[in-house]
Amino acid sequence: MHLTYDATTDVAYLSLRPTRPGEPLGPTLLLEHDRDFPGAVALDFSVEDGRVIGLEFQVASACLPAELLAAAERTNGRGLAQRYDQRVAPHLAARLRSPGSQRRKGGHHVH
């Protein structure tokens, strides 16, 4: 397990297992929000095997112990880019490679 913390966005991420470069994540399950809970927690799953990959803690400074965040690897300013690279970019690349992605407006295939 590995914990990272981006203080610029106040988001911590607990990786439960390593992922390969370009391995697509998703779906993400946002756990129910409780007005008494100061943050939000999301579970990331692997597209390939459906297993949990990690947990994202939003407003991490309010819901995780300060000593835990102090010991975490700092990703300040890189956290959002890393999440994009893991969650969005692989899905976009897969769609661009799929045969149905070469469509024009109106739904007609490009030949």
What does the pLDDT look like over 52-92, one tens digit per residue?
999 999 899 998 999 999 999 998 876 556 655 655 555 55
The predicted pLDDT at position 110 comes to 44
**Whole-angstrom distance, CA of residue 16 vs CA of residue 25:** 13
Query: Which range among 24-33, 50-59, 89-98 has the greatest average pLDDT?
Result: 50-59
- The reported pLDDT for the residue numbered 69 is 95
How many independent structural domains does the chain possess? Answer: 1
* 108 belongs to a structural domain: no
Domain assignment present for residue 111? The answer is no
Q: For residue 58, give both structure tokens.
A: 């939003």
pLDDT for the residue 104:
44
pTM above 0.85, yes or no: no
Domain membership flag for residue 109: no
Q: Tell me if 11 is assigned to some domain.
A: yes
Report the alpha-carbon distance of residue 63 to residue 67 in Å, rounded.
Answer: 12
Domain assignment present for 20: yes
Pair of tokens at residue 78? 């890189």
At 67 the pLDDT is 97
Please identify which residue in the block is written with the tokens 């610029």.
8
